[in-house]
Amino acid sequence: MDVIWNLTRVCPWDCAVCCVSAFHVCNTTEYIVQSAQKEKDKELTLAEKLTVLKILADKNFEIDFSGGDPLYYDEDFRVVEQVTRWLPSRKIGVSMTGSKITDAKLELLKKVGIVEFTLDNLPERENPFRPRGFNFASMITMKKCVTTGIKTRAVTVLYSATISEKNLEAIYRWLCENNVSEWELLRFYPVGRAAKLAKLTPSNLEYLKVMKFLRGFHGFTKIFFQHSLRIIEKVLKCPAVIDSIGIFPDGQVTACAWAIDDDCCPFKGFRLGKLPEDDLDKILDKARKIPEYSKRAEFCRTIAYVRRKNKMEGK
Ligand code: SF4
């Protein structure tokens, strides 16, 4: 079972395409600091996070820590530090931002299987959907990780501002030149704050075309496509509940980590329960008996849900 665990919604960045509608903390204006703190108060405490972690580690699940920035707070750092004692490194991933990398973070990241940074475009290319400096920070930190011997993966979300062949060629060239070992291409989910940006979503034909183009790249960096892109190719089916779940910062368990409304809650029908108070085995057993999740769908349930919702709302 793969678990994507968004440890926090708090983040030093404020991307317009953020799935979890992250709370921005870089700015020191009182209002922003207060609202981030208010949000932080809704998240699980360190003790609760460690309880959840123990439950997941005892089941030998694979965990990808995400956010917000999952290493922004010291207590989340401690959660990731703890998991390195309980699970082998190959079962641990961290998807973080390039902001405020420290020697302590680099030391910790040496003990995990893979560390991911989003890189939607090189800094010289305009992208109004990522804040200025975001990609530059990812690049600097990726270089540090590679030099430190950390297995590093770049992640690019495919939407209308990023999907051009020129943009992808430039990113790939940079990744190869800087010895970044892996590059994963992600489908765009118009969820969370990005729900307002559904118009950026490529068509299935555009996704298929760009995947074909990317398969022609044969440099140092190995290319992967997110499972939901492979679903468009009809070679995979939806793993929700059977092979993967998501956990949100307040402990809500969701059938799919991308089924997120603009308040970082699961979409209707995706919420399975809440940790640590609910029994995870019971949650999963119950969910797998629901006809909806008893077998793998041949389509992405989250995208299908968003399309239905947008149609009903006349968008
Ligand atoms: S609903 Fe879509 S994104 Fe979620 S697990 Fe299924 S295929 Fe993946």
pLDDT digits (tens, 9 = 90+) for 142-168: 999 999 999 999 999 999 999 999 999
The rounded Å distance from CA 209 to ligand 1 centre is 21
- Helix crossing, 46-58 with 74-86: angle to 10°? 20
Per-residue pLDDT at 279: 98
Q: How far apart are the first and last CA of the chain?
A: 35
Q: Which is it for strands 62-66 and 23-24: parallel, antiparallel or unpaired?
A: unpaired
- For the CA of 297, the closest atom of ligand 1 is 6
In CATH terms, 2-312 corresponds, of 2.40.50.140, 1.10.3470.10, 3.20.20.70, 3.40.1190.20, to 3.20.20.70
Q: Rounded distance, CA 93 to CA 100, Å?
A: 19
Pocket test for ligand 1, best of 227, 248, 270, 307 (most atoms within 8 A of CB): 227
Question: Would the pLDDT of 203 be above 60?
Answer: yes
Per-residue pLDDT at 37: 75
Per-residue pLDDT at 29: 59
Question: Would the pLDDT of 206 be above 80?
Answer: yes
Per-residue pLDDT at 32: 59
Q: In this structure, what are the phi and psi dihedrals at residue 62, rounded to the nearest 5 degrees?
A: -90, 135
- For the CA of 236, the closest atom of ligand 1 is 7
Per-residue pLDDT at 269: 94
Measured by CA distance, the residue closest to atom 1 of ligand 1 is: 301
Query: Count H helices, E strands: the chain?
Result: 11, 12
The rounded Å distance from CA 296 to ligand 1 centre is 10
Which tokens go with 126?
């305009």
Question: Would the pLDDT of 30 be above 80?
Answer: no
* Mean pLDDT (whole number) for 65-89: 97
Measured by CA distance, the residue closest to atom 6 of ligand 1 is: 238
Question: Would the pLDDT of 104 be above 70?
Answer: yes
DSSP secondary structure code for residue 197 in this structure:
G
The rounded Å distance from CA 44 to ligand 1 centre is 25
How much of the chain exceeds pLDDT 70, in percent?
Answer: 97
* Mean pLDDT (whole number) for 24-41: 69
Per-residue pLDDT at 26: 66
Per-residue pLDDT at 86: 98
- For the CA of 226, the closest atom of ligand 1 is 8
Q: Rounded distance, CA 127 to CA 114, Å?
A: 26
Element (H, E) at 146: helix 134-148
Per-residue pLDDT at 24: 83
Question: Would the pLDDT of 27 be above 80?
Answer: no
Per-residue pLDDT at 25: 80
The rounded Å distance from CA 65 to ligand 1 centre is 17
Contact at 8 Å (CB) between 100 and 12? Answer: yes
Measured by CA distance, the residue closest to atom 2 of ligand 1 is: 300
* Mean pLDDT (whole number) for 242-263: 97
Question: Would the pLDDT of 65 be above 70?
Answer: yes
Pocket test for ligand 1, best of 4, 226, 233, 258 (most atoms within 8 A of CB): 258
Per-residue pLDDT at 311: 86
Binding-site residues, ligand 1, Cβ < 6 A: 227-228, 231, 238-240, 244, 256, 258, 300-302
Question: Would the pLDDT of 223 be above 70?
Answer: yes
Residue 54 or 292, more confident: 54
* Mean pLDDT (whole number) for 241-248: 97
Per-residue pLDDT at 69: 95
Measured by CA distance, the residue closest to atom 4 of ligand 1 is: 256
* Mean pLDDT (whole number) for 223-236: 97
Q: For the chain, what are the domain ranges?
A: 2-312
Average pLDDT, the chain: 95
